Amino acid sequence: MKQKTQTQTKPTMLSSTSLRFSVLLLFLSSLSHSSCSGPSLQESFAQCLFLKSDKSFPFFASIYAQYNSSFSTVLNSSAQNLRYLLPSAPKPKFIFTPTSESHVQAAVICSKKLNIHIRVRSGGHDYEGMSYVSEIEKPFIVIDLAKLRGIMVDIQDNTAWVQAGATIGELYYRISEKSSVHGFPAGLCSSLGVGGHITGGAYGSMMRKYGLGADNVVDAKIVDANGRILDRKAMGEDLFWAIRGGGGGSFGILLWWKIKLVPVPQTVTVFTVTKTLEQGATSLLYRWQQVAPFIDQDLFIRVLIQPIGNKTTGRTISTSYNALFLGDSRRLLQVMTKSFPELGITIKDCLETSWIKSVLYIAGFPNDTPPEVLLQGKPTFKNYFKAKSDFVRDPIPKSGLEGLWKKLLEEENPLMIWNPYGGMMSKFAESDSPFPHRNGTLYKIQYVTLWENKYEDATKHINWIRGLYDYMATYASKSPREAYVNYRDLDLGMNKKNGTRYKEARAWGKRYFKGNFERLVKIKSKVDPENVFRHEQSIPPLAVSKRTKKH
């Protein structure tokens, strides 16, 4: 891994490269679409990259402008939410896919120089498309890190370096390739990009034992607003704190995470048990709220809740208890008999497997899918969706659950996922990292509504989920009503333009970060006072300083 820590650009370079530069200019002018309109934005950008970075690199092969035939393929490649690919969604002027760290540095310097708004994309899973759509500024470009996906696992050192464009599934696979008793506690969905995922927290089925992905980071490398590469030592503890939970796209471009591996047993156990309303789902879920956050830390039992059936068969609510236990089935049954006998699981429900296969199971791949599927590195399903989140601190009474079923049955394709907290999650203080949803949180709810047809009326579904969210206000955390930054929700408020003030941003900032919001603003003001890294919900600096154009 190269470790450049200085901006590498000075006017002296001009003379030494003037010959190549004029050759490039010739080349550029021959490319200009209109001979009298001067270079296009992508031409100016390519020219700047050439000057600021790699003098021998064919940048045009890494810049996808709207007129390039592969533009839409590249834009679509990792975008998860089809809502943000519709023709009505604003499109980037071009997409740049750096193949080295110095390209990322140059991209920051050049976008500042040309005053182009940038969006950064790693895995493209942002719920509101923040990594490839800007609703607030035009023109904008996307820096897509998909080609930067190196992973180096060091079992002796119990760590790994992983590059921003790698997926979490690739990381899991590379760990399992070297050891069957090491793992990493991050997301359940294997196509998440580590760049955006870990910086927003990153929870998964080992969170009750080991905390979040962000809680298990030991070092990082980022490109800051001045185009410098900083590691933990160079960035200092404040910024290192901010990037471990403060959310993507606010503080710089993450290049690498250095993560701490965690021990996993040779044999783990998984199960999924489903109960409908007719099978006593309401009482059972009422009980789950009191048990799941306090049960043995080796056990994570989430609940997937959705309507099933149709007009002919009748519709009901299905609740699926989907679990990972870090141990064998014998011990799991002991834990369940003691703490949660109501679920009634038996040895027949249990599947003993390896940790890496449990990753596939929890991610929803069919049994016997080979782990190599994790190397696919792209989403396995995509749809149109809108999602929201809540944290629950007191059990919802049965009457509340019954009202919730009525709401769910109104919608075609809704899904709720209830995710138990407790265990290690409670052992961190709220201010240990920007992620504040710690002790006292029983579980998190994710609400989703999905549709598959582009002609469908999104407003109908979005209004439905907003209504559901209103209904749940009684039962959710209050003052603030907390939300998970990695489940980005623009209903909570957004920066209207690049100069949004701290006071306006508090509305959503407090929900994602509680008391940590002020500290994030202070750090942002120090490391990116000009607000180079910004989007609809980026952390604002205290006062946006006037951009001084450097020419």
Ligand X SMILES: Cc1cc2nc3c(=O)[nH]c(=O)nc-3n(C[C@H](O)[C@H](O)[C@H](O)COP(=O)(O)OP(=O)(O)OC[C@H]3O[C@@H](n4cnc5c(N)ncnc54)[C@H](O)[C@@H]3O)c2cc1C
Under the rule (CB under 6 A), what is the footprint of ligand X?
80, 119-127, 130-131, 145, 164, 187-189, 192-193, 195-197, 199-204, 248-249, 253-254, 486, 535
- Burial string for 500-523 (b: 16+ CB within 10 Å, else e) reads bebeebbebbbbbbbebbebbbbb
How far apart are CB 32 and ligand X at their closest, in Å? 31
Of residues 70 and 334, the one with the C-beta less far from ligand NAG: 70
Q: Of 498, 506, 522, 542, which one interacts with ligand NAG (CB under 6 A)?
A: 498
Q: Estimate the share of the chain in helix, then strand, then coil, as percent rounded to the nearest 5.
A: 35, 20, 45
509 φ/ψ sector (left φ>0, alpha ψ -120 to 50, else beta): alpha
- Residue 547 as a binder of ligand NAG (CB under 6 A): the answer is yes
Q: Which residue type sits at 122?
A: S
Is 406 an interacting residue with respect to ligand NAG (CB under 6 A)?
no
CB of 338 to ligand X, least distance (A): 28
Structure tokens at 348: 């027949």
Does 110 participate in binding ligand NAG (rule CB under 6 A)?
no
For residue 202, the SS3 value is coil
Give min distance, CB of 420 to ligand NAG, in A: 15
Tokens 């989403």 belong to which residue? 379
Q: Among ligand NAG, ligand X, none, what binds residue 248 when CB lies within 5 to 8 Å by partner kind? A: ligand X
Judged by beta carbon, residue 72 or residue 276, the one nearer ligand NAG is 72
Residue type (1 letter), 285: L
Q: Which is nearer to ligand NAG, 85 or 243 (CB)?
A: 85
Site for ligand NAG in 425-484 (CB under 6 A): 426-427, 439-440
Choose between 20 and 547: whose C-beta lies nearer to ligand NAG.
547
Count H helices and E strands in the chain, helices first.
16, 18
Report the distance separating Cα 251 and Cα 521, nearest Å: 10
Please say which residue, 406 or 427, places its beta carbon nearer to ligand NAG.
427
Per partner kind, with CB cut-offs from 5 to 8 A, the member of ligand X, ligand NAG, none near residue 551 is none
Question: CB-wise, 103 or 388, nearer to ligand NAG?
Answer: 103
Q: What is the DSSP letter of 296?
A: -
The residue whose Cβ lies closest to ligand X is: 248
Residue closer to ligand X by CB (options 153, 164) is 164
* Site for ligand NAG contains 76 (CB under 6 A): yes
Judged by CB under 6 A, the stretch of 11-19, 60-68, 171-179, 241-249 that binds ligand NAG is: 60-68
The least CB distance from residue 4 to ligand X, in Å, is: 17
Q: Which is nearer to ligand X, 145 or 261 (CB)?
A: 145
Contact 143, 118 (CB under 8 A): yes
Contact 98, 223 (CB under 8 A): no
Alpha helices in 344-472 (DSSP H): 355-363, 398-409, 458-472
The residue type found at 2 is K
Integer Cα distance of 159 and 232 in angstroms = 15
Give the E-state strand segments of 145-287 in sequence order.
Answer: 151-154, 159-163, 182-183, 217-223, 229-230, 253-260, 262-263, 268-276
Paired with 119 in beta bridges are: 142
Minimum distance, C-beta of residue 543 to ligand X, in the bound complex (Å) = 23
- In three-state secondary structure terms, 547 is coil
β 351-353/262-263 pair status: unpaired
* 68 lies in the site for ligand NAG, by CB under 6 A: yes
Residue 126 touches which of ligand X, ligand NAG, none (Cβ within 5-8 Å per kind): ligand X
Binds 195: which of ligand X, ligand NAG, none (CB < 5-8 Å by kind): ligand X
Residues lying near ligand NAG in the complex (CB under 6 A): 31, 60-61, 63-65, 68, 70, 72-73, 76, 82, 85, 115, 137, 310-313, 426-427, 439-440, 498, 530-531, 544, 547
